[in-house]
Amino acid sequence: MNVLANTAPASSTPPASPFAVTVLGAQAVGDDGESLKQIQNSSDAEQALLAALDQFKTRIGSYLKPEDQQRVVAAYHFANAAHEGQLRVSGEAYISHPLAVASNLADWHLDPQALIAALLHDVMEDTAITKEQIAENFGKVAAELVDGVSKIDRIENRSFEEAQAENFRKMLLAMTRDVRVILIKLADRLHNMQTLDAMRPEKRRRIANETFDIYAPIANRLGLNSLYRELEELSFRHAYPLRYRVLAKAVKQARGNKREVVGKILESIRTALPKAGIEAEVMGREKHVFGIYCKMREKHLTFSQVLDIYGFRVVVADRNACYQVLGVLHALYQPLPGKFKDYIALPKVNGYQSLHTQLIGPFGTPIEVQIRSAGMNHVAESGVASHWMYKDEQTLTQLQKSTHQWLQSLIELQATSPDNTEFLEHVKFDLFPGEVYVFTPQGKILTLPRGATAVDFAYAVHTDIGNRCISCQINGETVPLRTELRNGDRVEIATASHAHPNPIWLTYVRTGKARAQIRHFMKTRQDDESSTLGERLLTRAISDLGHLPTDIDPIAWTRFLHDTGLRERHDVYAEIGLGLRLAPVVARRLLARDGNLQQDAKAGGSVSIRGTEGVAVKIASCCRPIPGDPIIGLIRKGQGLFVHAHSCPAIGKLHGSKTEWVDVNWDPAVSGQYETYIHVVTREARGVLAKLAAKITEAESNIMNVSMHVDGDAMTSLYFTLHVTGRMHLARIMRGLRGLPEVVRLHRQVETRR
């Protein structure tokens, strides 16, 4: 768990303290200057550790009962003994890291179990201590917390990315059971980031990017604003060290230039508020380097153009006073139009509440002011951790409710995302910054990430609404489902029982839940369709070998499933349908008896294409056959069955393996709409396109696309993409078009014009 761990060589007789090794070594070498320096450094480190321990005892003594303090200190000594002889890469005693993590949690006034788990959070990974031993000494709750933070043992033949994804999944799911797991992990990551200089540059960048992508957004989502900003700042410093140094130097220089202006603004606010009868705490704050960098990048500004590197915060007694302060400030300085945000009436999804306004200060300096109550300030800085240090039931109830909803959404993502990497991707989508507030038809407010669409809204209301949505109305106007939502939109979704998710939705949805549910539906549908196709292919392969499916001994099926590691026949059929296994090979293995196979083959039938298979059966885009065309099938590994026309020019190139080709035909009851292309040459005449379109519509066909090219001799070429049900339907369309006097010639094209 600790990225700076460095285990010292094991010894049969461990020393009394990690510092004894250095002292003994120095004495053995002799009293030269270097040895004395080592002794001095060791002594300084030991003194620093003792001082840190004393500070920790003071912190927990301010809010824990004496008996709880004793249990926490006992956990420290337990961890110290377990990590005996281990050093961090920086050379410090390893125990300094868990002590720092526990100290961070003590600032949030976390309970004894969380502090004990923080002190022991690395013992299961880096020592021989087991979960059972922790439970025996410190209780089951502490043991569960340590287990939730601990990494899963690395499995051979698994990439680093896969292992990391599985560890994140374990940690996030443990967090859904107990939010203290993520608080411990975030405190752990904070100390690692604060001491990251000892690592190699490439490892620093990897850890910094990981913090950017996962840990900082989680801190933000849980309302841990101070921690979120510090993690972002540290990540920026280590991921982009040169940019950070340049900007930090520029901020330091600008600080002196703006000191007089900042002082004048502070003084004017502190004078104006008491005159209005408002007691308030007013403070100035310098914006973080990363925040300034983001503003420069997003708005394409130079550093000199970013004028508001300082912000101001006003903390008052209650909610009403916040709005009174706003009036005083708007009377004192001119507000910037469109730059006011009321997060008190509409809190952020992480529970954050505050009034934000931008004003024009002295010398035209932009001023950004945040106004909030003391309770809101606690929640803004500490988020869910404020549960342990501040008891404002109204504020915390809303925060706990939103946190609970997010944790529940993680459980839903877990159920629909069996792949660890996919699960992590969905979580990252849910951590997308920024929110929009929209209304249901009943007036309920839903908070969605910025850029969310009507489809995201539908899934946020209910999974069934998302799966069955067909259209939507925003503010009473019918709009496409891909329409992005804006603050204040009232959204109404129309559904139909026959509707289902469209794969194209994945290109524009913004919430993890929507992406996970769409993918889950598509995968389930593909599995079912692949299984149906695979069963038909296997039946035909068995028939080719002169047998019926009922001839296969159940023991043969059991043996085959055991050998392949598959659970049931459905899985075998699905793999055949997707081209992961060849039906003739499976048929031979199932029919094999004592190494011999009777091959009194009789003519086998072909696979019928019904037009309703969808995902597992695909019409090849190179030739676009339609019902009535002679066809042949090609199994592509992992993709399913592709249907080509016999005349397809690509068949010669694709004929690499005969066993992958399948005889197919059109089922007499084939259904569906199929794309085909026609080329029409007409004389130039007014309204000719309208006449052609009318004839195509009369023949009950849809025009999917049309393009035209003006030829010489007053001729025009038109290229249509049409939806037809088969060759008979296409022939009817072409007969209708030939009846127009403007049409010179027309023919069907094998592929669309590029």
CB atoms within 10 A of CB 703: 13
Residue 530 is which amino acid?
S
- In 5-144, which ranges are E strands? 5-7, 86-88
Task: Give the SS3 label for residue 337.
Answer: coil
Catalytic residue among 68, 111, 126, 230: 126
**Residue of 520, 490, 729, 482 lying closest to 626 (CA atoms):** 729
The span from the CA of 184 to the CA of 640, in Å, is 46
**Residue of 289, 303, 287, 311 lying closest to 234 (CA atoms):** 289
Ordered DSSP codes for 683-741: E--TTHHHHHHHHHHHTT-EEEEEEEEE-STTEEEEEEEEEESSHHHHHHHHHHHHTST
- In 132-228, which ranges are E strands? none
Residue 17, classified by CB atoms within 10 Å of its CB into exposed (0-12), middle (13-18) or buried (19+), is: middle
Catalytic residue among 46, 125, 412, 484: 125
- 622: tokens are 């190179």
Instruction: Judge whether 667 counts as a catalytic residue.
Output: no
What letter does residue 336 receive in the DSSP assignment? Answer: P
* Run of H or E including 21: helix 20-29
Instruction: Judge whether 551 counts as a catalytic residue.
Output: no
What letter does residue 41 receive in the DSSP assignment? Answer: H
* Run of H or E including 608: strand 607-609
What letter does residue 343 receive in the DSSP assignment? Answer: T
Side-chain half-sphere exposure of 651, counting CA atoms within 13 A? 16
Q: How far is residue 518 from each of residues 70, 448, 479, 528, 640, measured CA to CA in Å? A: 52, 17, 21, 15, 20
Q: What region does 628 belong to: left with phi over 0, alpha with psi -120 to 50, or beta? A: left
Chain centroid to CA 303: how far? 32
What letter does residue 505 receive in the DSSP assignment? Answer: G
Residue 354 is which amino acid?
S
Q: How far is residue 66 from each of residues 94, 118, 422, 713, measured CA to CA in Å? A: 27, 19, 47, 101
Task: Give the SS3 label for residue 570.
Answer: helix
Is residue 79 within 8 A of residue 119, CB to CB? The reply is yes
- 452: tokens are 């969310």
- Residue positions annotated with a catalytic role: 125-126
